[in-house]
Amino acid sequence: MGDAEMNEQEMPLRYGFNPHQKPARIFSRKGALPFKVLNGAPGYINMLDALNSWQLVRELKQALDLPAAASFKHVSPAGAAVGIPLTEALRKAYFVDDMEESPLMAAYARARGADRVSSYGDFAALSDTIDVPTAKLITREVSDGMIAPKYESKALDILLAKKGGKYLVIEIDPAYEPPETETREVFGVNFEQKRNNAVAAPDLLKNVVTVKKDFPAAAVRDLIVATAAIKYTQSNTIGFAVDGQAIGIGAGQQSRIHCTRLAADKADRWFLRQHPVVLGMKWRQGVVRAERNNAIDLYLQERLNRFEKQNLEVALEEVPPQLTYEEKREWLAGLKGVSLSSDGMIPFRDTIDRAHESGVSYVVQPGGSIRDDDVIKACDDYGMVMAFSGVRLFHH
């Protein structure tokens, strides 16, 4: 095999999962690698994030014919979204009210905004050609790299200047299709399986098992967004979505109710970030967006120790009184029409009970639990619409 051919099929990586895991590489056993590194030097986790996040946004684009974006951390999405125009509240909550908006930029702002604390240092994936508004947004956020099918020349120039010229920029072939069979090696043992080609699509919603039967068009869209997100998230996973974006992803927990609580708590915080008190916060000079995200997260906690209070005082010109439980619940009552997707069957009604508290009205899950009747009854009690997809979407 000649050097040129080898270079197309193999690429060295900075290191593996950790800096002491060297050497590391990525390679294709058949044919050239389906991407080009336009800038930067990828590591092992960068490439796992890149290839998983690309699959997510590609699937959303194909299913909904809208620009899609994902914000990945540690091989799971912190957020995912499609390019629905931003409301004024979201423009302020996502710190983009001073920026030009395009559909692709809105998709990334939404993906990043689902969980802005977790998205710090993310890997970004975009389904469409990167335009200048999207590049400007990415370059002002703390991000480790990105993947997209193409870049406008002016947008690429903006990105090449990020991180002192070291920002990782990957261009992937949008026509690339992987083999039907995938393999991996663990502890010297090879695993092989058919790749997961079940797609997030409206067909998953055909088997409606609740008294209420109708999914509005917006709910279909949001259930597809939530399902695509959890498909590429470390299991167990519960995903909440509304308005074309994930608003809470509970990932990698051993118990489904713990996934649900985590996703619901994140969804609550996402909505509370739009509370007038939060949007009206006055920041001290020099407090950057990442510090504002952390300060808002602190402010929304139930209790603050003296060090946390000091951190808030450093960030804010004046710390507003913390919202009471009653004030939070009054605001959260406005969170409605949320969609929930579960990567595995829901075994107990506790998931539905907790989801109801965070505005969930629409559910899709595989079904197949011995307590399906209890879960269906819980949905009927709350007037929810639930479909059994019959498709489990575990990801490890």
In this predicted model, what pLDDT tens digit does every residue of 321-372 receive, in sequence order?
Answer: 999 999 999 999 999 999 999 999 999 999 999 999 999 999 999 999 999 9
Distance separating alpha carbons of residues 285 and 358, to the nearest angstrom: 35
Token duo for residue 248: 């809470």
What local confidence, expressed as pLDDT, does residue 1 receive?
32
What local confidence, expressed as pLDDT, does residue 30 receive?
86
150-154, 195-199, 319-323, range with greatest mean pLDDT: 150-154
pLDDT in tens, 98-110: 999 999 999 999 9
Q: How would you class 8 by CB atoms within 10 Å of its CB: exposed for 0-12, middle for 13-18, buried for 19 or more?
A: middle
Contacts of 302 (CB under 8 A, 6+ apart): 325
- Is 74 a known active-site residue? yes
Residue 8 pLDDT grade (very low, low, confident, very high; cuts 50, 70, 90) = confident
Using a pLDDT cut of 90, give the percent of the chain over it.
Answer: 95
Mean pLDDT (the chain) is: 95
Residue 320 has pLDDT above 90, yes or no: yes
Distance separating alpha carbons of residues 385 and 374, to the nearest angstrom: 14
Distance separating alpha carbons of residues 318 and 325, to the nearest angstrom: 21
Name the active-site residue from 61, 73, 266, 356. 73
Name the active-site residue from 52, 236, 266, 356. 236
The strand pair at 245-251 and 237-242 is best described as antiparallel
Q: Which residues of 276-313 are buried (b: 16+ CB within 10 A; e: fewer)?
A: eebeebeeeeeeebeebbbbbbbbbeeeeeeeeeebbe
What local confidence, expressed as pLDDT, does residue 12 receive?
95
Name the active-site residue from 74, 136, 163, 377. 74
- Is 20 a known active-site residue? no
Considering the entire predicted model, what is its pTM?
A: 0.94
Residue 3 pLDDT grade (very low, low, confident, very high; cuts 50, 70, 90) = very low
pLDDT in tens, 227-248: 999 999 999 999 999 999 999 9
Residue 290 has pLDDT above 90, yes or no: yes
Average pLDDT over residues 275-296: 96
Return the closest-CA partner of residue 270 out of 93, 133, 75: 93
3-state DSSP assignment of residue 8? helix
pLDDT in tens, 243-278: 999 999 999 999 999 999 999 999 999 999 999 999
What local confidence, expressed as pLDDT, does residue 5 receive?
37
- Is 36 a known active-site residue? no
- Is 396 a known active-site residue? yes
Residue 203 has pLDDT above 80, yes or no: yes
Name the active-site residue from 30, 213, 282, 396. 396
